Amino acid sequence: MYFIVYLYEINNIQQWRLYEFYHLTLNVHFISVTFHCLLIKLADK
């Protein structure tokens, strides 16, 4: 029984790490896109 719970926990940790990595990547992408838009607006002036 304990072994099954242990496997379940390992699976959860791996999924959480994957989610965290995905979230971080999205944040970086969003920041770069926002920065790019700001640069375009500044270049227009």
pLDDT for position 39: 92
pLDDT for position 1: 66
pLDDT for position 8: 85
Radius of gyration of the chain (CA): 20
pLDDT along the chain (45 residues), means of 10: 80 87 91 93 87
pTM of the model: 0.50
Q: Which residue has the tokens 């838009």?
A: 37
Report d(CA 35, CA 42) in Å as an integer: 11
pLDDT for position 11: 86
